[in-house]
Structure 1
Amino acid sequence: MKCRIESFGRICQKFDDRRKRWVIEMGFGGLLHLAFDMHLPRMLSYWLMTRIDSISQKLVTSGREFKFSKNQVRWVLGIPNGSRDVSSSKTMTEECREKVQNILLTYGKSWESKSSKPSGRVYTSVGIPVTGEMMDRLERYFGEDEEEDFKTLFLIVALEMVLCPTQSPRLAGNLLPAISCAMDAAEYDWCGLVLSKFMDSVTSFVRRFYATGVAGGCGGCAIFAVV
């Protein structure tokens, strides 16, 4: 399971009062409390994934059903459930697009992948890998004039490590527009985003699990399901 709540917690423990204040201003103060002593039981997480119906968005076990909701995400994670939809490739403004491009210049990397088709075509992709260097930077000192830099970096790391992790160590490509929302994050519906991405991951997991009887793992916010 890719939800790295323990590693994320170790990073948050090193935040000074200024960085904690910035996180709270973003509306993500609940993550600070969640991360300090949280441990993700991997086997329980795996079992829970086999019991979730992603179509009805319910946990089905022992003849009982439990419906998932955005409010539950809010109660568990303590993240914003604002009135604005998080930016996506379809809704992002030109200003958001410029922000994303600037962030990619700072943190982005490019890599090549070869098509599995007979043509063997090589594709170049650009994304943001969450590296040890980025996490080290998040732990270091930030001056008062570096608020936007910190909030942007914190949002990238929180999305990739806890809220919307994938099976790769990179921020999901379709989440790139979301990082443009860092400075006014408290106004956005992060609960809806987390639940949607979690169910997408469950759908992918279930498809692989029932096809072969085993799945190599699952993305999504597993800590939400466990708690």
Structure 2
Amino acid sequence: MKVRGSHKRKAGDFESSCEMLVDAHRSRGSKDRENNHGFISFFAESVRQLKAKDGRACITNEVRKEIRNAFKNLPVEEKCQYKFQSRRGGKANVEKVKFLTRCAPDRLAALVSHLTEKQRKAVCDIGLGSIIDLKCGRLKRKLCAWLVERIDTARCVLQLNGHELELSPNSFGYIMGVTDGGMPMELQGDSAEVAAYLDKFNATSRGINIKTMEDILLTSKDADNDFKVAFMLFTLCTLLCPPGGVHISYSFLFTLKDVHSIRNRNWATFCFERLMCGITRYKDEKLAHVGGCLLYLE
């Protein structure tokens, strides 16, 4: 999906826009200034993500509106974190105790509690039977932060008290209840092949909104293929492969469109590698968010 627009903007223009926003609201109260600074950081980070996906992407009014709405929908505690981030580099100047992640097993568990028996069977059909039986509450973020600091992603080991614990796709699959079925992931293709899903899930240039997926599943009583795709997407973005933002890439649809092959994909390896990549980026780029399934580390 390409971002519409007829003019290109240079990276410097984004910074200028941010500075203009600061000047425009400088006369307001301290609370408003904090909110505005938070939006500026969120806006700059969103722009970088768009440019990373498509170097020719243009930041049109439509895209700006999508970013603004996405910021408004953030939980209050996550909004507050953005005001600490550097506007220039998108790095986080948050205190060390701050550790943000979209991995939310409690959110997935809450949705699972609303599933009908037919829907539960449908979930088992796509190989997620173990996922819906997970008994866990909220993620222990302080513990995860402590563990992440002790992971050597280059060698895939967790270093504890002089000992090294090997991390691997096999252990990930065993703990999280997913497998490698032998079929590789497909993350590219003709958008026309998944157009129906893009429309159904209200996809935008930024991806598919997590809250939108949640609302669709909570109001659905069906257990058809559309439900299976929606549930798999929600499981990916809340547990197995959570992104850094409030959107999950629609590229997953190219893997999910063949519903009968969902359980045969190499989910364990894919999700494990995404976690290692997320931890590496968190450390090297000093990001505020950690991508990936942190529940695996608990």
**TM-score (normalizing by structure 2):** 0.62
Aligned partner of 2:136: which letter? D
CA distance in structure 2 between the aligned counterparts of 1:62 and 1:221, rounded to whole angstroms: 24
Which string of whole-angstrom CA distances, capped at 9 and with x for unpartnered residues, describes residues 17-62 of structure 1? 101101111001111011x433310111111111111111111121
Q: Distance in 2 between matches of 1:66 and 1:75?
A: 15
Q: Which moved more, 1:70-79 or 1:148-157?
A: 70-79
* Corresponding residue of 2:75: none
Partners in 1 of 2:121 and 2:187 — Cα distance? 27
Question: Take 2:244 and 2:227, find their aligned partners in 1: how far apart are those partners?
Answer: 25
**Alignment partner of 1:20 is 2:120:** yes
1:109 aligns with 2:186: no
Whether 1:186 and 2:257 are equivalent positions in the alignment is no
Q: In 2, distance between residues paired with 1:59 and 1:37?
A: 22
How far off its partner does 1:64 sit? 0.9
**2:136 alignment partner, one of 15, 24, 37:** 37
Code of the residue aligned with 1:223 in structure 2: it is L
- Corresponding residue of 2:178: 79
CA distance in 2: counterparts of 1:183 and 1:99, whole angstroms: 16
In the TM superposition, 1:59-208 aligns within 5 A as: 59-89=158-188, 92=189, 97-110=191-204, 125-131=205-211, 133-143=212-222, 147-172=224-249, 174-208=251-285
Specify every segment of 5 or more residues in structure 1 that has no aligned partner in the other structure, as ranges: 111-124, 210-214
**In the alignment, what sits opposite 1:121?**
none
Bigger RCO of structures 1 and 2 (CA < 8 A, at least 6 apart): 1
Residue-by-residue CA offset, 1:76-96 (whole Å, 9 max, x unaligned)? 11113211112122xx5x6xx
1:134 Cα deviation (Å)?
Answer: 2.7
Kindly, what percent of the aligned residue pairs are identical? 22
Does the Cα contact within 8 Å between 2:203 and 2:250 map onto a contact in 1? no
Q: Over aligned residue pairs, what C-alpha RMSD do you find?
A: 1.9
Match of residue 9, structure 1, among 91, 101, 109: 109
Q: Which runs of 5+ in 2 are unaligned?
A: 1-100
